Structure formats: C-alpha cells, structure tokens
Amino acid sequence: MKIIIAGDGEVGFYLAQLLEKEYQDITLIDKQSDKLALVENKLGIATALGDSMSYKVLNEAGVQNADLLIAVTSVESTNIATCLIGKKLGAKFTIARINNMEYLVDKDMLDLRELGVDELVSPESLAAREVKYLLKSPVLTEVFNLYKKDLYMIGVRVEDDAPIVNKSVAESAPLLSNSSFMIAAVLRNEKTIIPTGDLQVLKGDLLYFVATDRGKDKVLEYAGKKIIQIKNILVIGGSKTGKYIALRLGKYYNIKLIEKNLEKCNYLAKTIPNVQYVCGDGADVGLLEEEGISNFDAVIAVTGSAETNIFSCLLAKDLGVKKTIAMVENIGLFDYSHKLGVDTLINKKMAAANFVFRHILKGRVLTQLHGINVEIQELIVKENSKIINKPIKELIFPENAIISGVIRDGKGYITLGSFELKANDTVFVCSIPESTKEVMSFFN
Amino acid sequence: MNLSQNSKFSTFKMIFRQIGGLLIILGYTMVVPLLVSLIYSELYSASGFLLSGLICYVVGFLLYKKIKITVEPLNRHALIIAAMGWLSVAVMGALPFIIIAFITPKEIAQQFVPSFADYQSSIFYFKNPLHAVFESMSGFTTTGLTMAIHEPSIGKGLLFYRSFSQWIGGAGFIVLALAILSQSSGKVAFLLYGAESSGERLRPTIIETARSIWKIYLGVTIFSFIYLVIGTYLILPEYNITEIIFDSINHAMTGQSTGGFSTLDDSIAGYHSQAMDILYLLPMILGALSLPFYFRVFHDKEYNQFWKNLQTRSILVACIFGGIILSFMLLKSGVISEPYRIGFFQFISALTTTGWQTSDVHTWDAASIVFIVMGAMIVGGAAGATVGGIKIIRVLLIFKGLFWHLNRFFSSENTIKVVKFNNRRFLPDEMNKELASTATFSFIYLIFVMASTFITFYLMGPEYSISDALFESASAQGTVGLSCGITNPAMSPTLEITYIIQMWAGRLEIIPILILFRTVFFGTKPKVV
C-alpha cells in the first residue's frame, strides 16, 4: 500500500512510525530538510522536500499511484488544498487534518467529500471526545469507541473489595451472564495477558473490557467501582483541545478554564459560552488553590507542556480530586505518569492515528491502547467459512487472541462462549501482536 | 488667507451644502400636503404650501448646487450637520404655518371649526412665528406637543402636514436625504447616518440601508393604515367613511413615527370609545419597535426575533407590567374613573413616546405622574425606532452593568468577568466602554430633564405643581408629546424656546447639539490640558 503523509509534525511523524512497522510504502513530505533527514535516519522511509501543495513535490512523492494521502500539517488550509490537488493527481483516498469543526458539522452546506477530501480528522476534537467519554464514566481508566455507540473498549483498575478479586474468569462467569460485557485483556505488572477461563483476577489488575453501551455501568459493578458523578471540572490550558472541551462540555458541566495567555483567554471568553475563564498559570500552586482546585470533581490538564499537565494532575490528586486527566504527547512519559498517580492520559496523536488507521488497514483496526500491548483487528467472516454456526467455545482459536465483539446488521454484540458467528459478521479480535498473523489466517 | 481660516470657511460651506440638500427634500415633501389641501378645496392652505415649498426648494437649491465643496466631512462635522440640519428643517418647516395663518381670511378659517363648536380657529396662533417653529419642531422631532389647541380648526391641509412632518421626521431627514440624493460617498454617508440615528448597517452600503429603512417604514405604516381603517369601521360604523380614511392615514403616520399628533380635538379620547383605545395600542407598539428588527423579521425571515430580540421582548414585557402598575396606582389614587383603560393606554403611549392622550394628566396624583415619567417617558422605546427617551436598551445595559459589578465580587481575582448582553458576549474592557458611554448619555439626559423641570417650575402658570413641571419637561425631552396643559399658546416664550431646544436635542440624542454648542462657543480646537 502506497501512502503519502504530508507534514512531519507530531501527528505525521507518529503515523509514519506506526505505519512503517506495518511495512507500508510510505513517503513523508515536509518543507524542512533537517526534519526529513531525521526521519530518514530514524525510520528509513522515503521523503520529499517541499510544499505539499506543489504539483512537482506531490508527483515526486508518487501521488499518481498512491492509495492514501494523509495531510496533517498544522495549517488547515494547506491540508485541504493538498488533498484536493492530490485527489485530482491520482491519490485514491485522502484524509485532511482540520481545526474548523464547521467542515465536519455543516456538511449540508458543502461536503468536502464531493470536492475530493474523503475524510476529515481533527486530533484535538477527538481528544475532547475521549475526555467526554471519560467524564461520563469517570472511574474508567480508558474508554475507546469500537463501534458507534454500541461497542466500547473500557479499561478499569480492579479495587481491593471487588467481588471478582482472587477468582478465576470462569468462576466469575455468573456475573457476566447478562452478556453486555466481557474481558478482552488484562494488564498486570506491565505485562499483557489475553484471558482464558482459568485466569485469576488479582487486585490492582487493569482489566480491559469490551462492553455495549448498557454494559458500561455493569462493568463498574463487576470491578467493584462506585459510580461517581462529575459536575465541576477544572480545565487547565486553553489549547485547541481545551477549546474543544469547553465547546463540547460547557453545556453539561460547570467548567472553569485556566489559561496563561490573556489574549487567548479573552478570545475564548468571547466565543465560548457557559464556561468560567481564569487568566493565570496552570502550574502556579497558589493560583490553583485560590481557584479552589480541591472543590472540583475532575481536573483536565491540556496545556502544551506535558510536564505542567502531569504536575497539575498530581497536585489535584493530592488535594482530593477524584478524576485527573492529563494530555501527554510524549509517549515515553506514559508509564511514569500512570505510576505517579495520574488517572488517565490522553494523547491527540494517538487519537488521530487510531482514527486514520481505521481507514487504512481494511479489515484491521490497529488500536494502540495506552500502555497495553494489544492489537484489535476488525475482520469479516467469509460466506463458506468453517467457523460459522458453531459456539465460539468449540472453535480452536489461536492462543493469545480472543474474539471480543461482533457487529451484525449494524448492531454490536458481546461474544461469550455460547455465541455463534454468522457469515458477513464483522468480528473484533483482541490479540497480542505476535499472534496477529495466526488470527488473520484463521479467518481466511 | 491663512490655512486655518481657509479650512474654517470650507467647513461652513460643507455644512451649508448638506443643509441645502435637506431643504430641497423638505421643499418636495410639501407637495403632498399641497395635494391634500387641493382635495379638500382649501385653496389658501394650498397656496401656502406652494409658496413655502418653493422657498425651501430655492434656498436649498442655491445652497446645494452653488456651493462647491473641497473637504470631506469628519465625524464632528457630521454631528454638526445633523444638529444644524434639523434646526433648519424645523425653522423652514414652520413656513406653511406662518404663511397660511397670515393669508387665510377669518371667515374661511372659521369654516374649519365644527358647526357645534363656538371657539376661534386655532390657525391664528401661528401668526406668532415662535408658535409656528414650536409646532414644526414638535412635528419633525415626532414629539406631538401642540400649539393648535383645537386641532380640527386648522384645516385638513395643515392637519395632514403636521402628521406628515412627524412621519418624515420619524425615520429621519438625513436618512431620507441619503436615500434620495445618494450623492455622498460611503464614508460621508456612514458618518451622517450615524449622527442622526444610532442605527445599524442593514445592507452593505449606507445608501441601500437608508432605502431599506424607508421601505420598511412605509410598509409598516401602510399596514397600520389598513388596520386602523378596518378597525375604526368595525367599531364605529356610523362614522363618515372619508373621515375614517383621513383619520387613519394621519394616525397611521403619527403612530408609526411615535409622534402623536392627532386630527381630533381630544386626541384618541375624542372617539369616546374603549374599543378605539384598544385599537390604537397596536400602532403605538409597532412604532416603538426598531426598524432593524423589522428588517430581520421580514427580509431575513427570522421570525423567532419576536422573542429573541432583546429590545422587542423588553418592550412587550414593559408595556404589560408598566400598564398594570400604572393602573393600580391610578386605582389607588381614586381620581380617575377608569384606571385600567387609562393606565394601559397612557403607559404605552408614554413608553413608546407616542403621546396620544386619553386623560387629563393634570388631575392625576403626583405618584402616578412620577411613575409614568421615570418608568416610561424617560425610558422610551427601542433604539433604531422613531422613539425618544434614553431607549430601553440603554436602561437594560445599565441594569446589566449594575449586576455585573455586584457579581464580580463573587469570582476570583483572575477570572475574566465576561458579561452577556443582547446575545453578545462582552469582555470587561468592552463592557466598561459600553457602560461609560451609556451612563454618560443617560446622565446628560437626566440633567436636561432636571434643568428644564426647574425652568418650567418658575415659568408655568400658578395652577400647576412641580410634578406637572417634571411631566411636561420629560415629555418634551423624550419627544413624547403628552401634556398636562402647561404647553399652550399663552405660555412664556422662554419656556417655549426651552422646549424647542429639548425636542431638538431629544430627537438627536443630545450629543450633536452639545457638539454644535461647543463649536459655536469654543471653536473646534482640541482641548489641551
């Protein structure tokens, strides 16, 4: 598959890095030669120097026979123009990164798809959406949307007094019986385990569930979590992500947003209603205390600096805030932040990459869940396959992989042992990367 | 000739040229009452209009065409033009009153007096030029205070002219001149437009905006006319149909312009019908709504504006609650026989600054008078309408500012204290700016009312009280036109001039008048301290 990525920024580089692992034919376009040199050294992929809107540069990158053109520079208009030009020059599918949500929301006015931009992605908006899911069920460590509003991947840490502690998965089966959720993976001491019937659940395990919308609350009961209600939110940082959080959540929560830059603050105050704005430094302890940080149910730190975000969240945690979410772009800091006690981390690069992957790897959703080493694949059951019309527990399924959810006729289902697959079902399989090939051949 | 003299001279030329333009329009407008006079075969009135129209036109033509201007007006010039222009229009607009008063023979004038009445025709009061200027100023500024004690006795031609002058003055002379002459450049047009009305730009160009305003204005007036003809016919079927049409045209014009001149001797009370009182509420309220609001509703088809538009909503709410409160106050005082009928009608008439009267305010108790002054006449209708007063939006802004000042004590020091007003979000700096200009204006306005109240108090007749003085003064300042009787042909000339200035200042929102005075007495040099 020939892929062109325009823009060697954070998102572009991260995408290139992930796709390179998949042995895709990738060309990266950027205006800065030193950045490209670094990419060539680190990833060993092809590069093209110049403006991605230039015919010459696009041709040099091989746009005529590109399967996919992803424009993720920081400039929205460049991205859109690159996609429009690229599409006409031969790219089969184009994705543009945007900031202006109008393009997504007001499709009736003008659908960019008709012009040649096949998909739009806004990393900041995706991050804000993730925050929205997390706040709806704040005790969850992670929420990842698998399929529309039907199937979610949920991460929950097991508490001491949970009913399932020290029981095997099979033993706790009665609790699972309403088939609205199932365990798909377990993270224990930084090791990823795909569960079998005899796996013992220990306290401190991070369980990953696949659940239907209804099942989300049941999961909490199962893992011994009390449901907490979030009402007051402190957002630190008026970055684009912060802006989208204010925009999306202002109606539902009492939000206070702290931003250092007065001009930015004024701009937000003028444009986004239902939010209280404070001009000040999010890393200033005195200010945070003055603003009553301990009175908030959740603190979401989304400044441009990961260190500030982590620090603010730790401070909040220390002062008794129930839920802390930090935006951390540096993936290397993930483990430490979790260990230090930040509840949840979000990363807009990963959010964007996950989104893009859904459109690239037909039949495969490569989902990078934070900190856990699993891949989720999306596979379609063939008409004459041997695996249909048999309960799943009778199948000889590859090791370290588990069928975790099915989409049938546009609805999501949880696949417990007695579930029978049918032709044309879309199946989600959760596996550790080493088993990926086996799983694919199983379905072929 | 040194440079500064040169520029001063060209400034005058520029101002006079613009005034010339206004006078040409004024000359043209006299054709309409001329035709009305001819329809009613009032030949003396017709020749009066012809003569005055010609004078206005010739003077205007000489100023407008013969003066070659070299400089473009600045902001202050636009304000001076507005002030001077309105004064000139009021003075020149007094010509028909004076001329007709002098040329109409006594017996002809006496024919205008209804057969059952035994008074003299009021036309002859206008032999005094001051009375004529007062009537003209009251007309063009849409006030409605009158020197014609018995309205019907001045003839149909003059009656129509009074109403017509209110109608023209309502939407604005300068707006009319911009719409018709369309010779000013965009920048000049914008300055002039802003000087006369605190209006918004509805169309990309000011000329088009001016035309849209006149179209809307005409449209709503025609609606009022049809509404009044049908309504009057249904309520008073025995009334003469030509009289119904004449009254309805006049009242549609004076209602839409919130002027309040009437063709009847006792204003709307002359119908002696409660149903007619109710019928006349709608034209007043329609006149008090802002013209940009109509534009939004009818041009942009935003029908939810009826509730979403802050000014419209507030006026409707204020009419209802103010009417109720005034009714109760009148009921409590016990001096009025029909407190609800009078309370609602007079409150709405005062709030919309129309000035149609159904009650002798002189007999009211002081509390009710002070309430109608403070709660209605000083407030006024919507900015962008033809009303006077401080305008309801400013009053709301000041209240908003008050709450904002209180609320800010409850948020932390670093919080950006945004305030939402009229669907806009204001940052603290912007809000302070808005508040400052609004408060300054309101303060100057109140000072004008206060000063005039005292002048009135010392110059009025012995039968009136200080509350009557306040009422009359606020009525003149707010271009309302309700009167408790202080305004009459026998009043002191000083007081009459005071009211003329007040009406003039009230129509233009005071600032242009102060700028004119500043220029006349202190020149145009910036003040250096």
User: At A161, which CATH number?
Assistant: 3.30.70.1450
Q: Is the pLDDT of residue B3 over 50?
A: no
Per-residue pLDDT in tens (0 to 9) along chain A, 444 residues: 889 999 988 888 888 887 887 667 889 999 999 988 888 888 888 899 999 999 999 999 999 989 889 999 989 999 999 999 999 999 988 999 988 878 887 878 888 888 889 888 888 888 888 888 888 877 777 777 777 778 888 888 887 777 788 888 777 777 666 678 888 888 887 788 888 878 888 887 888 888 888 887 778 777 777 777 889 999 999 988 999 999 889 889 999 999 999 999 999 999 998 999 999 988 888 898 888 888 899 999 999 888 899 999 999 988 888 889 999 888 778 778 877 888 888 888 888 887 887 767 655 555 556 667 787 888 888 887 778 888 888 888 888 888 888 888 888 888 887 888 888 888 888 888 778 778 878 877
CATH code, domain with A288: 3.40.50.720
Angle, CA of B509, B514 and B517, to the nearest 5°: 145
Contacts of A270 in chain B (CB under 8 A): 418, 425, 427
Whether residues A279 and B412 touch (CB distance < 8 A) is answered with no
Q: A350, A378, A413: which is the final residue of a domain?
A: A350
Distance in angstroms (rounded) separating the CA atoms of residues B520 and B317? 43
Pairwise CB contact (< 8 Å): B414 & A271 = no
Can you tell me the mean pLDDT for B241-246?
A: 92
Task: Give the pLDDT score at A368.
Answer: 59
Find chain B residues with C-beta within 8 A of A235's C-beta: none
Q: Which residue of B has its CA nearest to A271?
A: B425
The backbone torsions φ and ψ at residue B382, rounded to the nearest 5 degrees and listed phi first, read -85, 140
Question: Does B408 contact A at CB distance below 8 Å?
Answer: no
Please indicate, yes or no, if residue A182 is contained in any of the structural domains: yes
A173-187, B49-63, B102-116, B372-386, range with greatest mean pLDDT:
B49-63
Flag whether residue A280 sits within 8 Å of chain B, measured between CB atoms: yes
Of the partner residues A266, A273, A276, the one whose CB lies closest to the CB of residue B415: A276
* A193 CB within 8 Å of a chain B CB: no
CA distances from A280 to B255, B405, B412 (A): 55, 22, 11
In whole angstroms, what separates CA A317 from the centre of its chain? 24
Cα–Cα distance measured from residue A298 to residue B72, given in angstroms and rounded to the nearest whole number: 60
Which residues are registered as beta bridge partners of A47? A28
Query: Chain A, 287-326: which have a CB under 8 Å from a chain B CB?
Result: 287, 290-291
Same domain, A17 and A101: yes
Chain B contact set for A273 (CB, 8 A) = 420, 425
Look at B415 and A290 and tell me if their CB atoms are within 8 Å. Answer: no
Residue of chain A whose Cα is closest to the Cα of B429: A266
Asked if the C-beta of B414 comes within 8 angstroms of chain A's C-beta atoms, the answer is yes
Residue A291 has its nearest CB partner, among B412, B416, B427, at B412
| pLDDT tens digits for range B351-405 | 999 999 999 999 999 999 999 999 999 999 888 888 888 999 999 999 999 999 9
Which of B44, B249, B59 is closest to B158 using CA atoms?
A: B44
Within this chain, do residues A72 and A57 fall inside the same structural domain, yes or no? Answer: yes
pLDDT on residue A366: 54
Handedness of CA A289, A290, A295, A297 (dihedral sign): negative
3 state DSSP class of A301: strand
CA distance B421 to chain A (A): 12
- Is A117 in the same domain as A131? no
Closest approach of B407 to chain A, Cα-based (Å): 13
Residue span of the structural domain in which A165 resides = 127-222
Q: pLDDT at position A108, please? A: 81
Confidence (pLDDT) at A352 = 84
The answer to whether the Cβ–Cβ distance between A270 and B412 falls below 8 Å is no
What residue in B sits closest to A291 (Cα-Cα)?
A: B412
Q: How far apart are CA B16 and CA B12, in angstroms?
A: 6
CB contact (8 A) between residue B414 and residue A270: no
Judging contacts by C-beta atoms under 8 Å, the chain B residues touching residue A274 are none
Q: Which long-range contacts (CB under 8 A, 24 or more apart) does B427-432 make?
A: B427/A266, B427/A269, B427/A270, B431/B401, B431/B404
Q: What is the mean pLDDT of residues B229-248?
A: 92
As a whole number of Å, the CA-based R_g of chain B is 23
As a whole number of angstroms, the distance between CA B346 and CA B166 comes to: 20
Burial letters B192-206, b for 16+ CB under 10 A, else e: bbbbbbbbeebeeeb
| The two structure tokens encoding residue B408 | 């800010």
Picking from B404, B407, B410, B418 by the largest number of A CB atoms within 10 A of its own CB, the best residue to mutate is: B418
Q: Tell me the mean pLDDT in the region B37-61.
A: 95
Beta-carbon separation of B412 and A277 below 8 A: no
CA distance B419 to chain A (A): 9
User: From A262, which residue of chain B is nearest by alpha-carbon distance?
Assistant: B416
Residues A247, A300, single domain; the answer is yes
Q: Supply the DSSP symbol for B299.
A: I
Q: Are A184 and A74 in the same domain?
A: no
**C-alpha to C-alpha distance for B257 and B250, rounded to whole angstroms:** 11
Percent of chain B at pLDDT above 90?
A: 61
In a domain, A281, yes or no: yes
> Looking at the domain assignment, is residue A265 inside a domain?
yes
Q: Is the per-residue pLDDT at B346 higher than 70?
A: yes
State the pTM of this model: 0.82
**Residue B443: pLDDT over 90:** yes
Tokens 């020939």 appear where? A2
Q: For residue A154, give Cα distances in angstroms to A163, A229, A401, A437.
A: 18, 18, 17, 25
Q: Do B414 and A269 touch (CB under 8 A)?
A: no
Q: In this complex, how many residue pairs, one in chain A and one in chain B, have their CB atoms less than 8 Å apart?
A: 32
| Interface membership of B494 toward A (CB under 8 Å) | no
Candidate from B411, B412, B425 with C-beta closest to A269: B425
Chain A hits for B416, Cβ within 8 Å = 265-266, 269, 277-279
Strands A151-157 and A68-71: unpaired
Determine, for residues A276 and B427 on separate chains, whether the beta-carbon distance falls below 8 Å.
no
Picking from B411, B414, B416, the nearest residue to A287 by CB comes out as: B414
Assigned domain for A227 exists: no
Q: Report, as an integer, the average pLDDT of B465-493.
A: 94
Q: Are residues A279 and A293 in the same domain?
A: yes
Do A183 and A76 belong together in one domain?
A: no
Which residues on A lie below 8 Å from B413 (Cβ)?
290
Start-to-end CA span in chain B (Å): 29
Could you give the CA distance from residue A400 to residue A95 in angstroms, rounded to a whole number? 33
Q: By the CB < 8 Å criterion, does B427 face chain A?
A: yes
- Inter-chain touch B425–A273, beta carbons under 8 Å: yes
- Per-residue tokens: A213: 């919308």
Estimate to the nearest angstrom the gap between the alpha carbon of B22 and the chain centroid.
Answer: 18
pLDDT band at B182; cut points 50, 70, 90: low
Cα(B276)–Cα(B267) distance, integer angstroms: 11
Between chains, do A265 and B416 touch, taking CB under 8 Å as contact? yes
Pairwise CA distance, residues B419 & B431, whole Å: 7
Note whether B414 contacts A291, CB cutoff 8 Å. yes
Contact B414 A279 (CB under 8 A): yes
Same domain for A202 and A287, yes or no, is no
The domain boundary residue, chosen from A300, A321, A350: A350
B411 and chain A: CB distance < 8 Å anywhere? yes
Q: Given CB atoms, is A335 within the 8 Å cutoff of chain B?
A: no
Q: How far apart, in whole angstroms, are the C-alpha atoms of residue B110 and residue B121?
A: 6
Q: Across residues B302-309, what is the average pLDDT?
A: 84
CB of A74 less than 8 A from some CB of B: no
Q: What pLDDT is stored for residue B2 in this prediction?
A: 45
* Residues of B whose CB is below 8 A from A276: 411, 415
Dihedral of alpha carbons B422, B423, B425, B430, sign: negative
- CB of A267 less than 8 A from some CB of B: no
Give whichever of A18-22, A200-204, B116-120, B517-521 has the largest mean pLDDT: B517-521
Number of domains in chain A: 4
Q: Cα–Cα–Cα angle for A357, A5, A51, nearest 5°?
A: 155
> What SS3 class is residue A53?
coil
pLDDT at B408 over 90: no
- Backbone φ and ψ for A123, nearest 5 degrees, come out as -55, -40
What's chain B's average pLDDT? 89
Asked if A273 is an interface residue toward chain B (Cβ–Cβ < 8 A), one would say: yes
As a whole number of angstroms, the distance between CA A370 and CA B43 comes to: 96
For β-strands A191-193 and A142-147, DSSP reports them as unpaired
The tokens 């205007």 sit on which residue?
Answer: B60
Interface of A with B in 357-376 (CB under 8 A): none
Mean pLDDT over B87-96 rounds to 95
Residue A266 contacts B, CB cutoff 8 Å: yes
Distance CA B385, CA B474 (A): 19
Compare CB distances from B416 to A266, A290, A291 and report the shortest one's residue: A266
B323: tokens are 């009417």
In whole angstroms, give the CA distance from residue A176 to residue A179.
Answer: 6
Residue A375 near residue A433 (C-beta atoms within 8 A): yes
CA distance B186 to A77: 34
Answer for the pair A369, A152: CB distance below 8 angstroms, yes or no: no
Judged against a pLDDT cut of 70, whether residue B511 lies above it is answered with yes
Verify whether the Cβ–Cβ distance A269 to B427 is below 8 Å.
Answer: yes
Say whether A276 and B414 touch across the interface (CB within 8 A): no
In sequence order, which residues have a C-beta less than 8 Å from that of residue A107 and are 6 or more positions away? none
Which residues of chain A from 157 to 176 reach within 8 Å of chain B, CB to CB?
none
Q: Contacts for B423-431 with beta carbons within 8 Å, 24 or more apart?
A: B423/B308, B423/B310, B425/A269, B425/A270, B425/A271, B425/A273, B427/A266, B427/A269, B427/A270, B431/B401, B431/B404
pLDDT at position B222 is 96
Three-state DSSP at A9 gives coil
Cα gap B156→B172, rounded to integer Å: 24
Kindly determine whether residue A269 and residue B418, on different chains, have CB atoms separated by under 8 Å.
Answer: yes
Distance (Å) from the alpha carbon of B424 to chain A's nearest alpha carbon: 8
pLDDT one-digit tens code per residue, A240-280: 899 999 988 988 999 999 999 999 999 999 999 899 999 99
From the list B413, B415, B420, the residue facing A277 with the nearest CB is: B415
Same domain, A22 and A108: yes
* Dihedral pair phi/psi, residue A146, rounded to 5°: -85, -45
Count of other CB atoms within 10 angstroms of residue A163: 12
Residue B231 has a pLDDT of: 94
A70/A176 same-domain check: no
Q: Which of A172, A193, A222 is the endpoint of a domain?
A: A222
Q: Report which secondary-structure segment, H or E, holds B505.
A: helix B493-507
| Residues A115, A73 within the same domain | yes
Going by their DSSP bridges, the two strands B424-426 and A68-71 should be labelled as unpaired
Domain membership of residue A428 (yes or no) is: yes
Asked whether residue A141 falls in the same domain as residue A88, the answer is no
